Amino acid sequence: MSEIKEYIKDDIITLDWKEHIRRRPGMYIGKLGNGASPDDGIYVLLKEVIDNSIDEYTMGYGKRIEITINEDEICVRDYGRGIPLSALVDATSKMNTGAKFDSEVFKKSVGLNGVGIKAVNALSSMFCVESIRENKSRSVVFECGNLIDDLTKDTDAGNGTNTIFVADKSIFGNYTINKNFIETMVKNYTYLNIGLIITFNGVNYVSKYGLLDLLNENMSEEPLYSPIYLKGDDIEVVITHGSGYGDTCYSFVNGQHTTQGGTHLSAFREAIGKTVRDFYKKDFDTKDICMSMYAAISIRVVEPVFESQTKTKLGSKDMSPNGKSIRTFVIDFLSEELDKYLHKNKTTSEIILKKIQESEKERKTISGIQKIARERAKKASLHNKKLRDCRVHYSDKHVLAENSTLFITEGDSASGSITKSRNVSTQAVFSLRGKPLNTYGKTKRVVYENEEFNLLQAALNIEESIDNLRYNKIVIATDADVDGMHIRLLLLTFFLQFFPDVIHLGHLYILQTPLFRVRKIGTRTSGNAKSKKGDVTYYCYNEYERQKAINALGEKAEITRFKGLGEISPEEFEEFIGEKIRIDRVHLSKNDSIRDLLEFYMGENTPERKDFIVNRLRYES
């Protein structure tokens, strides 16, 4: 029996600000990650810096922000007021210090706690901030939160702040910056700040029509009617409908993309339902009203309260300390402005009515099947081995909720390996049995009649609404062979056909697993290889990495080609589904028509598809 250690005064320690952030980064930036996911920590660091520049623009200072990324070094230059020079060190390295506690200086700001930029400082191996005000410049340089240089000089550069940092690899590991994620972030900033110019690596981004531009960029089908655009003091809304399933709604608070929604999004859906029912004088179900709806809402709030430092879900109930509630504000606005729009635009109101009636008819047609399917799924869940669930879910109010992940695997061997090596707190596994059904061209009735898809839908909890989604990431994990690719396509078809909002809102991913293991016994080395008891092993995801590993270990290295996930041991899987997981987000843009994609790849045009494949064959000697 181990000896019980006595709890004494010496066990109580006090950490300084930077040491606390470096020991507990998750409290400040969520998860670390390796750059493969848009919510990984390195992008949170960049967002914290950009948010400060956006706040300057919101207050009327600086119409341009320049972002430059050179390998691992990130630079953000704005042309706002600049941080007061005498307070520069405190503002960047002293917790709970900043100007945003005074709402008169920064009204309706995102950063309120005096934490964000300090987290960037502490978690960077190099962090430099230069503030320029009235022909004077002061630069402070830190390493891992420690001040190493402080320089003041005269300058003729324009006012503003220039921040340069390199995320610390001793904390984040060997991360890779995905510039596509940053481009999406930049576009969202411009949609929410009409007229703001953001230059990213030399390319200018600017929005003329705000949320209208956002919807046009992200819709993957033609809208049934021209989007309804409504704007008032502190609120902006855009709404339209498509012809598919699901509903996609983007929500923002003070320019912050609240990916988990919150009080404003709940109020928005309630307001849409109430306004439409009142206008048509019919007791429509909100599900039928919102079916295939594409929408976005942005509000401005004084001193918003978010449910975590990463600010992905709004918890505020009031617009301001003495103002009306967010719920009342949103409902009042839409009740008046949307009602007015529908009265003035008869053609649009007729299209919306027809769409709602079609959704209602289909829902009622399959309602009996739904009831039976729900009971079947509920009964199956009692003894169902298809789902090995986790403890924390996306819908939970929990610090780990954003890490919740469901792996969809093929076969028992692959699911067994992942199940044994997963993090049981945040990672769940759903095991498919054989190849799923091709759902292209079928109605949603098939989801309830097909056992695999009925159980998958129940596991995800998305039958009623995407707001109930139980996992932030849904990762398709199939073998890297023909059958695995086919299963991947069938699953993508299922989501595209019936739950496109899962993709539009960034929840669907593809797991990248290694194709090769290159190993040499009894050798020690440094670098990116895994070393155990003198053995060195490289896991390689393509031919280039395989050859690079061979060059590092020599021609006598042992090379294993993984044919399926089931061949990878649970111990090895720990390397692939932990912090260093490689996943690719499934992304749709305005150029990706769901209908055209599914028709070509999953339809009955076999000869055309055959010609497409043959013309793109690559022969390797």
pLDDT of residue 373 exceeding 80, the answer is: no
427, 547: one domain: no
pLDDT of residue 596 exceeding 80, the answer is: no
Nearest 5°: phi and psi at 198?
Answer: -115, 125
Region 442-466: mean pLDDT is: 83
Buried b (16+ CB within 10 A) or exposed e, 384-409: bebbbbbebbbbeebebbbbbbbbbb
321, 198: one domain: no
Min mean pLDDT across 40-54, 60-74, 381-395 is at: 381-395
412, 343: one domain: no
Q: Are 458 and 381 in contact (CB under 8 A)?
A: yes
pLDDT tens for 339-370 read 999 999 999 999 999 999 998 888 887 766 66
471, 578: one domain: no
Min mean pLDDT across 17-26, 141-150, 311-320, 395-404 is at: 311-320
Report the pLDDT value the prediction gives residue 347, as an integer from 0 to 100. 95
Q: E strands of 321-444, at which residues?
A: 387-388, 405-410, 427-432
Q: Are 477 and 562 in contact (CB under 8 A)?
A: no
Q: What is the mean pLDDT of the chain?
A: 82
393, 464: one domain: yes
Q: Among residues of the chain, what percentage have pLDDT more than 90?
A: 29
Report the pLDDT value the prediction gives residue 526, as an integer from 0 to 100. 45
Region 297-315: mean pLDDT is: 70
Pairing of strands 64-70, 197-200: parallel
194, 142: one domain: yes
Place of tokens 């002061």: 138
Nearest 5°: phi and psi at 130?
Answer: -115, 125
If one counts every other C-beta atom within 10 angstroms of the C-beta of residue 168, the result is 20
Q: Are 291 and 227 in contact (CB under 8 A)?
A: no
Token output for 232: 């008032």
Pairing of strands 293-299, 248-253: parallel
615 found inside a domain: no
pLDDT tens for 478-508 read 887 788 888 998 999 899 888 888 988 889 9
93, 141: one domain: yes
Domain with residue 457: its CATH number is 3.40.50.670
Region 277-284: mean pLDDT is: 93
557 found inside a domain: yes
pLDDT of residue 425 exceeding 80, the answer is: yes
Buried b (16+ CB within 10 A) or exposed e, 209-248: ebbbbbbbebbbbebbbebbbbeeebbbbbbbbbebbbbb
266 found inside a domain: yes
Report the pLDDT value the prediction gives residue 1, as an integer from 0 to 100. 46
Report the pLDDT value the prediction gives residue 101, as an integer from 0 to 100. 44
16's CB contacts (< 8 A; 6+ apart) are none
What is the Cα–Cα distance from 504 to 293, expressed in whole angstroms?
12
pLDDT of residue 302 exceeding 80, the answer is: no
Report the pLDDT value the prediction gives residue 621, as an integer from 0 to 100. 38
Region 260-273: mean pLDDT is: 86
510 found inside a domain: no
32, 123: one domain: yes
Residue-number span of the structural domain to which 226 is assigned: 211-364
352, 380: one domain: no
pTM over 0.85: no
Region 523-552: mean pLDDT is: 72
Q: Are 221 and 595 in contact (CB under 8 A)?
A: yes
Structural domain ending residue among the three candidates 364, 392, 425? 364
- H or E element, residue 122: helix 116-122
Token output for 537: 């092993």
**For residue 82, what are the CA distances in angstroms to 56, 265, 585?**
9, 34, 37
56, 197: one domain: yes
Min mean pLDDT across 174-178, 300-304, 527-531 is at: 527-531
Query: In which band, very low, low, confident or very high, does the pLDDT at 78 lie, cut at 50, 70 and 90?
Result: very high
Instruction: Check residue 193 and report its DSSP letter.
Output: S
Task: Identify which has the larger pLDDT, 125 or 587.
Answer: 125
pLDDT of residue 468 exceeding 70, the answer is: yes
Our count of domains for the chain comes to 4
pLDDT tens for 540-560 read 888 888 888 888 887 788 888
Q: Are 139 and 46 in contact (CB under 8 A)?
A: no
Report the pLDDT value the prediction gives residue 274, as an integer from 0 to 100. 93
pLDDT tens for 170-229 read 888 888 898 888 998 999 999 989 899 999 999 999 999 999 999 888 887 789 999 999
Q: Report the amino acid identity of residue 191.
A: Y
pLDDT of residue 465 exceeding 90, the answer is: no
52, 181: one domain: yes
247 found inside a domain: yes
402 found inside a domain: yes
272 found inside a domain: yes
139, 256: one domain: no
Buried b (16+ CB within 10 A) or exposed e, 347-362: ebbebbbebbeebbeb
Query: In which band, very low, low, confident or very high, does the pLDDT at 320 lie, cut at 50, 70 and 90?
Result: low
Domain with residue 265: its CATH number is 3.30.230.10
Query: In which band, very low, low, confident or very high, does the pLDDT at 253 lie, cut at 50, 70 and 90?
Result: confident
Report the pLDDT value the prediction gives residue 620, as an integer from 0 to 100. 45
Structural domain ending residue among the three candidates 454, 470, 500? 500
- Please return the burial class of 566, using the count of CB atoms within 10 Å of its CB with bins 0-12, 13-18 and 19+: middle
545's CB contacts (< 8 A; 6+ apart) are 516, 538
Report the pLDDT value the prediction gives residue 257, as an integer from 0 to 100. 81
Report the pLDDT value the prediction gives residue 572, as an integer from 0 to 100. 79
Domain with residue 32: its CATH number is 3.30.565.10
Structural domain ending residue among the three candidates 319, 339, 364? 364
55 found inside a domain: yes
pLDDT tens for 96-148 read 665 544 545 445 555 444 567 889 999 999 999 999 998 999 999 999 989 99
